[in-house]
Amino acid sequence: MTEGTEVLRQAWSDEPVTFHGEFFNYDNVRVLPKPVQRPHPPIWVGATRTEETFRWAGEKGFNLMTIPFIHPTMEALHDLVEIYRQAFREAGRDLTTQQILGKFHIYVSESLEQGVREASPHMKNYSAIHAAVDPNRKLTHRDIVEDMQRGFIIVGDPQRCIDTIRRWREEAGLTTFSFTFHFGGMPQELALKNIRLFAERVMPALDGA
C-alpha cells in the first residue's frame, strides 16, 4: 500500500514516474491525463486496528477513514485517532485541513425500541454474511442490540441519532460521517423511510455543526 501510494503520487505529478521498490519498479513512465486538483486529488486511508496505519496516514498528511463499529470502546478509537493527529502535527501540517471519517450503519425511527425492532434483524443478517465470508474478520463479538444501545450502530429517534453523532465527533475526534441506510436485505420501504427521516429531522440539526 505504501509503495502503491507513492507511485500514484508520482503519476499525478508533472514528472514521469521513476520508482524502485520491493513490489513496483518503473523508469521514466509518463502518465496522462493529469488530474485537475493540485498537487493531487485528496488521498483517504482506511485504517481500523493497526496503530502503524494511523501513524503513517498522519505522517503523510492524508485524510483518514475508519469504522467505529469494530472498536471495543469509543475511547479505543479516540486513542488511535490521537496517534494519527499527533503524527499529522509532528509532520508540520495544519490540523484544520485534516478530515477523519467514521462510517456507520444508521436507522432513524420514532423511538429506540422501534428502531431496534425494525433494524436489528437486518443488521444481524449483514454481520452474519460478513462473518461467513471471513470468520476471522467478524465485525463484532458483541450483541448487535447492545451495539445499537451504545451508539456503535446509530439507531433511534432523530434526537438520539443527532446526539450520538455529536458524541462521536466530540469524544472520538471524527470530523466527517458516512452512513449506510440500506443493509442486510432490509426492505426498500424501510430504507426509504430511514433516509427520509434522516434528511428531514436529523440532517438539518447537523448542518454546519
pLDDT of 137: 66
pLDDT tens-place string over residues 103-130:
999 999 999 999 999 999 999 999 888 7
Domain assignment of residue 19, yes or no: no
User: How many domains, the chain?
Assistant: 1
Specify whether the CB–CB gap between 39 and 13 falls below 8 A: yes
Domain assignment of residue 14, yes or no: no
Any idea what the CATH number is for the domain that residue 147 is in? Answer: 3.20.20.30
Domain assignment of residue 77, yes or no: yes
Cell of 185: 436485505
Q: Which residues 6+ apart lie within 8 Å of 6 measured at CB?
A: 19, 21
Give dist(CA 188, CA 11) in Å, integer. Answer: 42
Domain assignment of residue 198, yes or no: yes
pLDDT of 9: 94
Please list the ranges in the chain whose pLDDT falls under 70.
137-141, 208-209
The verdict on whether omega for the bond into residue 33 sits within 30 degrees of 0, i.e. cis, is yes
Domain assignment of residue 29, yes or no: no
Domain assignment of residue 23, yes or no: no
Q: For the whole model, what pTM was predicted?
A: 0.88
pLDDT of 132: 83
Q: Which residues 6+ apart lie within 8 Å of 3 measured at CB?
A: 19, 21, 22, 23, 24
pLDDT of 127: 87
Domain assignment of residue 20, yes or no: no
Domain assignment of residue 22, yes or no: no
Domain residue limits at 95:
42-206
